Each structure stands twice: as structure tokens, then as C-alpha cells.
């Protein structure tokens, strides 16, 4: 696939993509070789998975204090959009650098371990100062190397557990003068550090997939069935783009027929929302296609061009004034026919219609803060859609 833009398609919880190169080779962490100690650690994690895919972390609204109430759905929508865009921008602009910095930090420990092990193999002397220096560096790395990845990822490898299970014992046996056992514990620690820091291991733990990492929960905003999201972000704040796809659906690996936001979907978007494009002072465009995929198993196949789906288009401007100016320009040749809410007390969407090439086109439109939203332009009028035409968006980020 051409590496000229980044798009995302995801439905649930995990993805595996290549990481960066530059550290030790792909080594599986060894089983710890201890003698009389019963305690051990595989370093698998220093926390649980509960935060990594949660929706508890959020940016504050640009027009509010982040404490949304039932009567303040517009501020909630702004806050939802802020954090979605912020997360996408971090994965676009900061993910690779953060992974590189994290792996380099972890690699400081093997660079301390390797010469000590080599010295022991060659029956050369190792000093207490060297052992103390190793512990100091390893504990600093274990405690601080994850910070660059937070809050985007919270399920980290338990390097501190490796230090206690292996390096502390190495120091104990060093003080006893039992250098063969010292070498064993140092080698165990080296294997675990290098094995957990390979490109494959790091990308498994920190997949380059914001939708399944945290955004899936943020998009759906509640339990509303199996949904699939195709997402793309455009704007000067996004420095690099690549293709991305996730084929896990509600815990099952399904076969998805087409790449996310492929040429067909992009063309569909451009044609559908052409009458709503306003580039003046625009800073970004967020495009989202929401699919209903029903119940899915490992043997399922999903054709993303044949699902029940809806399109959501968001344009971000310099500030609320420029967004309002864009709104006014867009509706100059359209008719605004009142407002509607999708949920009781929810955001009031402007009903907009205009004459397309062949049909009258109906859409829901809203300006909230610096954002301008348009949902599902179609030739089907609101009266002909049925009472719950927006069902795919119920309880989602766009319908708080």
C-alpha cells in the first residue's frame, strides 16, 4: 500500500505492526535459572490492561472545564472531538519518536550487562562499583522509560520485577563471591531485557493502532453493538501518513475485504461532502465511516462496502469565529429547516437541505466551538428515514 497517508480501521482491542529497528535481535525471554530461590518474575507486566483501552483519560473542552452535564452536550461533543484528534495526532506525530526513545532507554541496561557478563566469562574482575552502577541504571530505566508512552499506553513490561528477581540476586551472590551464579542471574536479566525490547515484542505491547488502543471505546461511547470504524485525519499538524488496518472484530479475527479509507471510500467522502467543504482557515479534517458488523467470529468475512454504514465529517478551524464564518459560507446556498435532537436533551443538529445534481440532499449540520460537523448527506428526507435513522451513532462520541 502506498505510504502517503494514515488511515485506520478497527473494531476492538489489539493489532500487531512492525516496530523500529536498532536494538538487540528478536530473542524470546529465557526462563529464569535460579537455584534455591522460589520467587521469580517473567517481567510480563507491571500493571493490568484496564487503563490501556479505557475511556477514562480525556482532554478538557476548549470552551469548558471538562465537567459535562446532561444540559451541556455540546461541550461534551467538543471534548470528545478534542481527545480523539489529540490521540490521532500523537500517533501520527509522536508515536515513532516515543517508541524510539523508549527502546533506547531500555537498551541502556543491556549495554551495562554485556561487558559485566563478558568479564565474568573471561575470569576478569568485576567491582562492587560496577554492580551498584548496574542496579542504579536498571532501576532508573525501569521506573522512567515508560513515561514517554503514557497516557496512550499503560500496560508495561515489568522491568522492575526483573531487577528484583535477577539483579538483586546477582548482587547478593557477588557479595558471597559466587561468580558463576552472578553470571547466571546477569545473563537471565540480559535475555529478558533484550527479549522484551525487540521490535516485535515492543510493537505487540504498544501497537501502532490508536483506534483499537483507546479510540474504539471513545468512538462508541457505550455498549451499542459491534461497530467498525474507518478513520482518517488530515491537516498541517499531521506530519506523516501511512496505511493501517486492524482485523480483530469484537475479539474475533475477521477477514475484511478492503483497506481502510481506500480510494473508493475517499471518493465516496469527497462526493458526499463536497457541498460542505470550506477550506478557509481550516486546520484539519476528520473523516469517519461507521459500520454495523453484527456478530462476528474467527471465520467471519466483512465487506466494508456492503455494510450498513454512516458517514461523519468534521472540519476544525482556527477558532469558533472562523468556524461560524465557515458555517455561514456553507449554508449560503442551502436551506436550514429547524433543528432536531437524536436523544432527549441532546445536541441540537441543524437540518440542512439543498439541490444536488439530480436530487434534493438532506443532512444534519452543527457548529460547536471550532468544529463544524456534517452527518450523512442523503437524498432521503428526514421524514422518510424512520424515527431512529441515526441508530448507528447512538451513544457515540458524536451523539453524547
The SS3 call for residue 330 is: helix
Mean pLDDT, the chain, rounded, equals 79
Residues 30 and 192: beta-carbon distance below 8 Å: yes
Shared domain check, 214 and 202: no
Q: What is the pLDDT of residue 387?
A: 75
Shared domain check, 191 and 264: no
* pLDDT above 90 (res 158): yes
What is the per-residue pLDDT across 288-324, written as a single tens digit (0 to 9) for each?
888 887 776 666 777 777 778 889 999 999 999 999 9
Residues 250 and 224: beta-carbon distance below 8 Å: no
How far is residue 311's CA from residue 269's CA, in Å, rounded to a whole number? 8
Global confidence as pTM: 0.76
C-alpha cell, 76 = 461534551
Three-state secondary structure string covering 150-194: CCCCCCCCCHHHHHHHHHHHHHHHHHHCCHHHHHHHHHHHHHHHH
* pLDDT above 80 (res 86): yes
How far is residue 199's CA from residue 389's CA, in Å, rounded to a whole number? 45
Q: What percent of the chain has pLDDT over 70?
A: 74
Least confident of 29-38, 342-351, 360-369: 29-38
Shared domain check, 227 and 145: no
Least confident of 19-33, 96-110, 221-235, 376-390: 19-33
C-alpha cell, 336 = 436550514
What is the per-residue pLDDT across 208-264, written as a single tens digit (0 to 9) for each?
888 777 887 788 744 445 777 888 888 776 654 433 444 455 555 667 776 666 777
Q: Which of 190, 206, 222 is the last residue of a domain?
A: 206
Indicate the burial class of 139 (C-beta count within 10 angstroms; 0-12, 13-18, 19 or more).
Answer: middle
Shared domain check, 185 and 167: yes
Q: What is the pLDDT of residue 305?
A: 75
What is the per-residue pLDDT across 64-74, written as a single tens digit (0 to 9) for each?
344 344 348 89
Shared domain check, 275 and 128: no
Shared domain check, 196 and 223: no
> Is the Cα torsion angle 365, 367, 371, 372 positive or negative in sign?
positive
Q: What is the pLDDT of residue 282?
A: 93
Name the residue with higher pLDDT: 190 or 240.
190
Shared domain check, 263 and 131: no
* pLDDT above 90 (res 105): yes
Shared domain check, 189 and 217: no
- N-to-C CA span, the chain: 35
Domain that holds residue 377: 210-393
Q: What is the pLDDT of residue 45?
A: 59
Inter-axis angle of helices 179-196 and 95-121, nearest 10? 160
pLDDT band at 5 (very low <50, low <70, confident <90, very high): very low
Q: What is the pLDDT of residue 24?
A: 33
Q: Please give the DSSP secondary-structure letter assigned to residue 133.
A: H
**How many domains does the chain contain in total?**
2
289-312 core/surface letters (b: 16 or more CB in 10 A; e: else): bbbebeebeeebebebeebebbbb
C-alpha cell, 246 = 486492524
> What is the helix, strand, coil percentage profile of the chain, to 5?
40, 20, 40
Shared domain check, 256 and 233: yes
Name the residue with higher pLDDT: 143 or 395.
143
* pLDDT above 60 (res 31): no
* CA-wise closest residue to 349 among 398, 385, 308: 398
Q: Is residue 88 part of a domain?
A: no
- DSSP element (H, E) containing 339: strand 335-341
Q: Which of 178, 206, 234 is the last residue of a domain?
A: 206
Beta-carbon contacts of residue 143 (< 8 Å; ≥ 6 apart): 160
Amino acid at each position: 500500500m502506498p505510504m502517503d497517508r494514515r488511515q485506520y480501521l478497527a473494531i476492538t482491542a489489539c493489532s500487531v505492526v512492525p516496530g523500529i529497528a536498532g536494538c538487540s535481535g528478536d530473542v524470546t525471554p529465557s526462563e529464569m535459572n535460579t537455584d534455591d530461590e522460589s520467587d521469580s518474575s517473567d517481567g510480563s507486566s507491571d500493571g493490568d490492561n484496564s487503563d490501556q483501552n479505557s475511556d477514562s483519560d480525556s482532554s478538557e473542552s476548549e470552551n469548558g472545564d471538562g465537567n459535562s452535564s446532561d444540559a451541556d452536550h455540546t461541550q461534551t461533543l467538543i471534548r470528545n472531538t478534542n481527545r480523539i484528534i489529540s490521540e490521532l495526532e500523537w500517533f501520527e506525530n509522536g508515536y515513532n519518536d516515543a517508541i524510539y526513545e523508549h527502546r533506547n532507554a531500555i537498551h541502556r541496561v543491556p549495554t551495562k550487562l554485556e561487558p559485566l557478563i563478558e568479564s565474568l566469562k573471561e575470569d576478569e574482575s568485576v567491582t562492587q562499583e560496577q554492580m551498584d552502577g548496574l542496579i542504579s541504571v536498571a532501576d532508573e530505566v525501569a521506573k522512567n522509560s515508560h513515561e514517554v508512552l503514557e497516557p496512550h499506553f499503560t500496560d508495561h513490561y515489568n522491568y522492575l520485577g526483573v531487577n528484583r528477581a535477577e539483579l538483586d540476586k546477582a548482587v547478593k551472590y557477588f557479595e558471597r563471591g559466587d561468580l558463576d551464579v552472578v553470571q547466571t542471574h546477569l545473563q537471565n536479566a540480559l535475555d529478558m531485557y533484550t527479549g522484551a525490547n525487540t521490535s516485535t515484542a515492543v510493537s505487540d505491547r504498544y501497537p501502532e493502532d490508536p483506534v483499537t488502543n483507546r479510540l474504539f471505546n471513545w468512538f462508541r461511547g457505550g455498549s451499542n453493538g459491534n461497530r467498525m470504524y474507518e478513520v482518517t485525519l488530515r491537516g498541517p499538524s499531521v506530519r506523516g501518513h501511512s496505511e493501517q488496518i486492524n482485523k480483530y472484530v469484537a475479539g474475533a479475527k475477521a477477514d475484511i475485504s478492503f483497506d481502510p479509507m481506500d480510494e473508493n471510500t475517499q471518493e465516496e467522502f469527497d462526493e458526499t461532502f463536497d457541498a460542505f467543504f470550506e477550506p478557509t482557515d481550516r486546520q484539519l479534517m476528520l473523516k469517519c465511516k461507521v459500520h454495523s458488523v453484527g456478530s462476528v467470529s474467527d471465520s467471519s468475512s466483512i465487506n466494508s462496502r456492503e455494510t450498513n454504514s454512516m458517514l461523519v465529517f468534521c472540519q476544525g478551524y482556527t477558532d469558533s469565529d472562523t468556524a461560524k464564518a465557515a458555517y455561514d459560507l456553507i449554508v449560503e446556498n442551502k436551506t436550514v429547516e429547524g433543528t432536531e435532537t437524536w436523544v432527549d436533551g441532546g445536541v441540537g443538529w441543524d437540518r440542512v437541505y439543498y439541490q444536488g445534481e439530480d436530487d434534493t440532499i438532506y443532512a444534519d449540520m452543527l457548529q460547536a466551538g471550532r468544529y463544524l460537523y456534517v452527518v450523512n448527506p442523503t437524498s432521503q428526507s428526514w421524514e422518510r428515514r424512520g424515527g431512529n435513522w441515526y441508530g448507528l451513532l447512538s451513544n457515540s462520541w458524536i451523539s453524547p
